[in-house]
Amino acid sequence: MAIAVFGLVVGAVVLAAGDTLGFDFLAYHQAAGPVLAGERLYDPSVHETGGFGLLYYPPPFVLPLLPLALLDGSAATILWLGMTLAAFFAAVALMPVSGWAARPWPVRW
């Protein structure tokens, strides 16, 4: 039941996001493209913050995204979200807690 609710919530968020889906990721994606082309990571003409597609993070943050820069922005965003969900489920599975089957339910005192 909880997994179904989680899936519904994630689906609703993705649908509600519309054009803003992956807004932060696309800043990384756009920064990784020029790096692959041998250009600068940061745009030297930018003098203020707050614009779309500006990378404000240290250079190592773009390294894991270099393979995704080879893909189209929308495809890379979907792949990135899938990898994020996979990492979430892997982290939950690796938590050092016992499963529900190991507990007597309901707990009687």
Instruction: Give yes or no for a contact between 34 and 89, defined as CB atoms under 8 angstroms apart.
Output: no
Reported as a single tens digit per residue, the pLDDT across 12-44 is 887 887 777 777 788 888 888 888 888 887 777
Residue 51: per-residue pLDDT? 65
CA distance 98 to 96: 7
Supply the pTM of this predicted model: 0.66
Q: Which of 60, 65, 1 is nearest to 27 (CA)?
A: 65
CA distance 97 to 65: 32
Q: Where is average pLDDT lowest: 14-18, 41-45, 47-51, 76-80?
A: 47-51
